[in-house]
């Protein structure tokens, strides 16, 4: 999906400094996405294609005739639903013929192609969705609760929490190749089809690269959150 899924972390001012780089990177990435999308959303593609038309063409060229393209409210709420085989494009993308809209639509079409071709990282990521939801919400709570008890029960709760959170961490890490690959497919399709010129592709790449940084920030936050929990556990045992 185009919108980043940021991991959950409990607030505890001990060791909060560990998360500061990831928080700053995440904030900067979100600002960069909005800035670049707004900039290239004002630049119309010479081909005249809209986001909807670009997505449908890529789907046709990959023989994905069973995937629907629908409009969904919002800005940058674009995503592909593999279970429903529906590619949903936001208000800011669906009918827009801007470079940014075409790039985003092509990226989501790239996810549909990944699903259809059995792209392994995408299959792994999809299987980890429930694990990530449980691990990112319950895992940190259990780990923190474990730190409040004495060894024995405390260690058990902490270890369970860490194991659950490791599942969430794996999700964030696997998301990186999935998103980068979807963007790579998008640029290749837009280039070969001529929907964007060589110069226009540069703008689309900037939008997609900025979006990719939000996923990098998510992964970094997950890694540093795990490190923070481990350091808190070590600090308690001293």
- Show which residues are catalytic: 108
Are 142 and 160 a contacting pair, CB within 8 Å? yes
DSSP state of 73: S
C-alpha span between 103 and 204 (Å, rounded)? 5
C-alpha span between 107 and 66 (Å, rounded)? 18
Are 214 and 30 a contacting pair, CB within 8 Å? yes
179 Cα distance to chain centroid: 7
C-alpha span between 68 and 122 (Å, rounded)? 20
DSSP state of 82: T
Structure token pair of residue 72: 């969904």
Q: Which of 106, 102, 109 is nearest to 85 (CA)?
A: 109
Q: Who contacts 215 (Cβ-Cβ below 8 Å, separation ≥6)? A: 4, 172, 175, 176, 179
């Amino acid at each position: 999906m185009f919108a980043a899924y940021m991991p959950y972390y409990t607030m505890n001012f001990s060791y909060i400094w560990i998360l500061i780089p990831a928080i700053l990177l995440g904030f900067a990435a979100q600002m960069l996405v909005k800035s670049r999308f707004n900039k290239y959303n004002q630049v119309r593609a010479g081909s005249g294609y809209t986001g909807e038309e670009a997505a449908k063409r890529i789907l046709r060229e990959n023989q994905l005739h069973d995937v629907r393209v629908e409009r969904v409210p919002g800005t940058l709420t674009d995503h592909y639903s593999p279970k429903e085989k529906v590619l949903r494009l936001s208000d800011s993308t669906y009918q827009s013929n801007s470079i940014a809209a075409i790039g985003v639509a092509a990226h989501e079409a790239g996810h549909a192609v990944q699903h259809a071709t059995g792209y392994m990282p995408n299959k792994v990521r999809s299987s980890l969705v429930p694990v990530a939801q449980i691990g990112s919400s319950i895992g940190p709570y259990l780990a923190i609760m474990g730190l409040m008890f004495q060894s024995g029960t405390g260690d058990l709760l902490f270890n369970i929490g860490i194991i659950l959170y490791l599942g969430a961490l794996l999700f964030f890490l696997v998301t990186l190749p999935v998103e980068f690959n979807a963007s790579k497919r998008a640029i290749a399709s837009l280039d070969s089809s001529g929907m964007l010129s060589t110069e226009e592709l540069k703008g689309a790449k900037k939008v997609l690269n900025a979006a990719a940084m939000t996923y990098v920030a998510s992964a970094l936050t997950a890694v540093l959150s795990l490190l923070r929990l481990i350091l808190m556990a070590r600090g308690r045992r001293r």
